[in-house]
Amino acid sequence: MQRVCLALPTMRPCPETIAELAEEAAYAVATFGVEVHLLILDTTGAAAFAQNAAAVAALTPTPGVVVHHLGEARQREFLRRVTERSGAADPALLLDLMLPEAVAYGSCVNRLFLGAAALGCSSTHLRNDDADFQVVDGRKVFPIHHELLSIGRPAGEAVAGVSRSRLDPADADKPVMLVSGSFIGELNVDISEIHELDPAVYRDVVRLWTPPVWPEEDRDAMVDVSFKGSDSGPFSTDDSVLGVPDIWDVYMCNIALDHRSYEALPLPPATETIGSDYALLHALVHSRLPGVVHNRHIVNYYTPERRTGTGFIAYQLRFVKFLLSMLYLYPVYGGMIDIGPELLDEQHELRVDPIIGLARGAVDWDQAGNEHCLDVLDRSYRKLGGKYTELADVVAGQRRQLLDEAQRDAGLWVVLTEAWAALVAAARAEGLHADPAASTAAAGSAAAGGATEVPSR
């Protein structure tokens, strides 16, 4: 039986999301006859973990669905065993890259990938805790429907499961390693308030993430579509397209990835940096692998802590670091485009060595571009005034640190990528075992910081 991983990273209480994903897992079992492992990696504190554990404990057991709820202690123990088993010269460094003290979007997804490998899953289906499913005629619109129709299949076979095909006949034997929808609702980066305050400042800020080597009109066009998701509107009827996707049509929180993709290349483990989890998607798209893009978009929303006080500063600093990270990522993405299909080996799987070479070559890029970026941000935030003046002061006070951290993060991606194959093999050999001390009772699970499992019957 095909075994798949429906994956949720979270650092906040999200009982409603857990219940919804359990519904999606049950739908997948009933419709496709797969075994679904709902893997929840939870780095909340004790009180929030207890809320999430209670939500897991309240789930109705469903044949074919296995729920794993791992707190930070359980994750750390699993990763400690994996990093040591990998034979790495510095397992402590790898453990820190996989589970740092700071927020790291790429690292949390990398943990999910290793968890999926340990569970023996053929694909991972990524969701987020700040999005809802669309509802039509009282039924939730589950993306896993399109994902399981195509993921992992030779593209020539996947034609039967899509609405339209733009497949090059020469690509018929290549596997579908990516199936994705997009999102509707609020911008997927919480900067819409900047646009409300001053559209010109918004354009100046968003323009900072466009490739500086592009013509001016192309950079302006990129500003117009950035962070906005799908323009197809709410769901009415299914539509899906097979072919080489456009990077703008894929969304990391509404995606299925074949294990042959994420077991080859990890995401950058950059800390306090949004958008650091798209490098793998660039590799798949720029290597010209066929994928499926569908219209079962999720509904994005903002969580309240992003908008006030320390939560506002913390989130906006992650956006600043995202802008700075592009100095080191765009040379890699550009190189991927130049290499194209030669990024794939004879089995149509990613060749990692060229990507490592590109990433290593970008680490020492001149920081002048990022100096300019911070100058523009300083002027822009001060023009907006209010809490953005405070943000400008914080960024100015951390200027050297931010520049150095962006460069350091680029180098650490190289380190992790070089060790990744051994980590995946170690995770597969280690397995993801139930914690015998963990209780299915919410309070017991919270106290143990462990795993709650609802097994298939």
Residue 452: pLDDT band (50, 70, 90) is: very low
Identify the weakest region by mean pLDDT among 90-99, 137-146, 181-190: 181-190
Mean pLDDT of the chain: 91
pLDDT band (50, 70, 90) for residue 2: very high
180 three-state secondary structure: strand
pLDDT higher than threshold 70 for residue 444: no
How many residues would you count in the chain? 457
Residue 447: predicted pLDDT: 31
Q: What is the pLDDT of residue 451?
A: 43
The SS3 assignment for 359 reads: helix
| Residue carrying the six token digits 């044949």 | 63
Higher pLDDT, 235 or 137: 137
138-142, 153-157, 248-252, 337-341: which has the minimum mean pLDDT?
Answer: 248-252
pLDDT higher than threshold 70 for residue 138: yes
Of the candidate ranges 101-110, 223-232, 366-375, the one whose mean pLDDT is the lowest: 223-232
pLDDT on residue 448: 32
> What per-residue confidence (pLDDT) applies to 435?
54
Q: Above 60 in pLDDT, residue 457?
A: no
What pLDDT, on a 0 to 100 scale, did the predictor assign at position 235?
A: 82
Band the pLDDT of 248: cuts 50, 70, 90. Answer: confident
Ranges assigned E (strand) in 206-297: 240-243, 255-258, 291-294
Instruction: Give the pLDDT confidence of 207-220 residue by residue, as tens digits.
Output: 999 998 999 999 99
pLDDT (tens digit per residue) in 378-423:
999 999 999 999 999 999 999 999 999 999 999 999 999 999 999 9
- pLDDT above 70 as % of the chain: 93
Identify the three-state secondary structure at position 37.
strand
Model confidence, pTM: 0.93
pLDDT above 90 as % of the chain:
82
CA distance 164 to 160: 9
One-letter amino acid identity for 135?
V
Contacts (Cβ under 8 Å, ≥6 apart) of 357: none
CA distance 238 to 232: 12
List the structure tokens of 356.
Answer: 């490592």
SS3 state at 31: helix
86: left (phi over 0), alpha (psi -120 to 50) or beta: alpha
Largest CA distance in the chain: 60
Do 334 and 326 touch, CB atoms closer than 8 A? no
Q: Residues 421, 428: contact at Cβ < 8 Å? A: no
pLDDT surpasses 60 at 446:
no
Which residues are 133's β-sheet partners? 298
- Render pLDDT for 74-85 as a digit per residue (tens, 0 to 9): 999 999 999 999
Token couple for 349: 């799987």
Residue 20: predicted pLDDT:
96
Predicted confidence at residue 436, as pLDDT, reads 45
pLDDT at residue 443, as a whole number: 32
Is the pLDDT higher at 116 or at 440?
116
- Contact between 291 and 180 under an 8 Å Cβ cutoff? The reply is yes
pLDDT band at residue 434 under the 50/70/90 scheme: low
pLDDT of 127 above 50: yes
